[in-house]
A and B are shown apart, each in its own frame.
Chain A
Amino acid sequence: MRLIKFIQFAMMAPMLCIGLAQAQDSAVFDAQQNAWKLYYQDPETAQWVNKMYVQQNAIKPSVKSAVQVSGSQYVYRYRVSNRRDAKQAIDLFRIWGIPLVYAIPNLPPVTASIKTDNDKWTQQNWVQLTAKRNFESSVVKAPKGWSAGLRVDEKDGQTSFVWTPGLKDSDPDGIFPGKKQDGFMVIRPELPGIARAKLTGSTEEPWGLDNLPNTPYWNQKIDEIQDLDYVLVPVLAPVIPVPNPYNGAELARRLKTHVQTWLKYGHINADVLTRLNRQFDVLIPALEINNKQSVRATVVAIRKECADRHQDLGDDKVEEDDDEHESAALPRTTLQRSAAPALPLDRVAARVLMFDLRYLMDRMDSVH
């Protein structure tokens, strides 16, 4: 009798253990499918489910960015290409991390209370939203079949320019492998700096991470999955506001501050940054006391730093570079970094320095 009970227990124990083992959250990456195998308890149904989340990074983008003066504004143009060996179409082009939140001129106020005068609030808020939309339309332009948006993350003090395919059936679904799309445009008065364009590929269920449980495990996993779920490409972007009233030293300070951010994103290495900082530390005081000779000498030194890294980069290519110099994706994994070591100074970074310092010189020389 005891023997039978022992045998029964021995047979049931592994099943119990399997049951317990199954009731464990898990996220396992399948490199072959470029997908995560997720196992979790659905928050709605409480059922344990298996789900596959395909990463949105199987794209091979490059971006050509150009800047052109238009009166008191700068027109930034972008062309996005998706290499032939990509596996997904690019369906999102978002230049993010612009460290500014634009003031919208003449924004109609909302004076009504949503709590006590809901109708009036609705009308006033709509008028304000319409004004915002008009402002967006004046800043971000989209090619035919695409739509443009201006996203503002006020908490982070950041702005993004976002382009996505249109919703009509006749609109494209994205930039397919081997194709390119021109006509993405931003019009702003800020001088160029570097920003990163976030690009993603088209998948069947981009919302696949939305319904995961709100637990520390899954919150951490979602961050981990999402951090590699896109491709970053450096681009020229309106980042550096020109001081008003104009102050050359202040502009140089802003440029220097911006250059400090490049190290984090791999647009510059530490040695070059140190050398540039030394030059800025000479340039800024020289501008403050209007020592034009010193300013010129320092600007020449910085331009030389750029030319040393990119010998074919002349003034004629600062606004618009050759097609062959389209920016490629930044390495994001250890494997990618070892395959393509970062340049001492990114070519877009060099263009930024040359453009902005030329502006600075022009302003200095225009004052007699």
Chain B
Amino acid sequence: MNIFRLHRFCIRAFFAFVTIFLTVFTVSAQAQYIYVEPTQYLQVDSNWGGISRPASAEIGCQSIAEGYTKAAGPPYIGRVQKLTHPSPTYWGCYLDRSSGDGIWYHDADPDGAIRQQNECQPGFVFDTSIINSDGSTHLRCRGLASYQIVGLSGPSEVRPAGTGGNTTVDLTAKVAQGGNPKAGVVVSFSVDVIANSGGHEHNDSNRPKGTLIGTQGTTDANGEVQVTFKAPEIAGIHTIKATCATCSNNPVTKEVQVRVPDLLPISPNPPRNVDGTFVYALTSVDKIHQGNGRYHHNQYYLTEQSQINLQSMIAAFAAEGWGTVALNDASLYWGGRYDITSNWGAPHAAHREGREIDISFTRAQNPVSVAKQKIFYKKFCESKTVQVPFSILHHYVLVPHFHVFLEKQTACFKSEH
């Protein structure tokens, strides 16, 4: 009895071992599949060709190894049938299904027939095992994924359009198979922009995003394919996506920051004059100027040189007895187009590079009469390392102001030569 039990135990243990081994082996050996679309479907209905014909398995139609199931209804058992149409003469494969032990139906829905002419590429078989969100299945070709996109490389930063310098970057996707470059693989690219990025605290579907010059390419002998990303005027974080239909790791993404580099904030804590008043005030963040469609709160960014020049200019204002200098808008913290009314467009078409700032005549109670404006210009043009062209723009509050170019000294910035 004991021997019998032991024997039975050993047999069970052996089968358990074999079962576990096979399971583990099967799982570990299970290949990673990739799925591609057949190039074309022949759409047929259940009465295909208008002729009711008996189903019969035919050579020339591939079998469906994984079976055929639907999310709704009883499980179906599927098999591929071939139906011949006499006139005109053609034939197609399609899936028959049965419900339990019931009758068989020609199932042209949802995949239609599998035409012999539209076979999957070599190494791929037809597969209907993937269930769509609506419960239907969709015919695909299934194959073993043997190569992958190993990288999407290139610069991670580029300047916004309209800010000078390089506003495009070349990105390279590389496809490899077992460590070796894979040529002839089609790679597709797409781009998107992250909402509220780049200092724009607003978002809608009209937000301009960067563009790709060429959205698809085929890998060369080095397994590489290039795409050019062209930055928009608006700063922000862009995600470039590389997709390869026959690769195992889709998609591969890369983040590109569209920005003017190295902009620094104007300190919100201004020094004080001898009389205790502030040297300057950031007037666009006060209560009066909030609202009016303004959603930006990061508008006081400048380059390092502009910061230095701005302070020199404020000192020059102070020397003229100006008092607190009212600073309106500079640039957003990543630069680019500063859409003051949050419409991705004008006004404020300048203010992109962190080298310009508006100075109010009237805020902080320091008006300069129109008659003195040209004196003001010449004063700073000739005596300071800043340029003050009088673009008497009218902002949303319809108040004229100084539009100051803090670095673009051109016309009047000269020494004796």
Contacts and interface: CB of A to CB of B under 8 A. Distances in A.
Interface stretch (B14-22, B41-49, B307-315): B307-315
Contacts of A173: 371-372, 375
Contacts of A130: 315
Nearest to A132: B315
A176 to B, nearest CB: 14
B320 A167 contact: yes
Given A149-B316, A169-B369, A207-B390, A156 B383 contact: no
B378 A206 contact: yes
B389 interface: yes
Contacts of B320: 147, 166-167
A160 interface: yes
A136 B318 CA distance: 13
A96 B383 CA distance: 10
B322 interface: yes
B384 interface: yes
A211 B389 contact: yes
Nearest to B270: A122
A96 B311 contact: no
B411 A209 contact: yes
A126 B376 CA distance: 22
A126 B264 contact: no
Interface string A210-225: 1110100000001000
A151 B371 contact: no
Interface residues of B, number: 49
Interface stretch (A113-121, A242-250, A341-349, A355-363): A113-121
A169 B378 CA distance: 16
Contacts, number: 139
Interface in A138-164: 147, 149-151, 153, 156, 158, 160, 162, 164
A165 interface: yes
A149 B383 contact: yes
Nearest to B271: A126
A7 B322 CA distance: 67
A156 B416 CA distance: 9
B415 A122 contact: no
Interface string A73-117: 000000000000000000110101100000000000000001100
A168 B312 CA distance: 21
Contact of A151 (B267, B311, B383): B383
B135 to A, nearest CB: 56
Interface string B258-281: 000000111101110000000100
A173 B373 CA distance: 11
Interface residues of A, number: 56
Pick the most buried of B266, B349, B372: most chain A CB atoms within 10 A of its CB: B372
A147 to B, nearest CB: 6
A203 B382 contact: no
A125 interface: yes
Nearest to B272: A126
A205 to B, nearest CB: 7
B301 to A, nearest CB: 11
Pick the most buried of B321, B369, B376, B383: most chain A CB atoms within 10 A of its CB: B383
B269 A122 contact: yes
Contacts of A205: 374, 390
Given A129-B315, A167-B368, A91 B378 contact: yes
A114 B264 contact: yes
A153 B372 contact: no
Given A114-B304, A126-B311, A97 B374 contact: no
Given A164-B382, A173-B375, A222-B410, A129 B312 contact: yes
A109 B242 CA distance: 52
B319 interface: yes
B378 A118 contact: no
Given A123-B271, A151-B382, 8 more contacts: A122-B311, A167-B375, A168-B372, A173-B375, A205-B374, A205-B390, A209-B411, A212-B411
Interface of B: 264-267, 269-271, 279, 304, 307-308, 311-312, 315-316, 318-322, 349-350, 368-369, 371-372, 374-379, 381-385, 387-391, 405, 410-412, 414-416
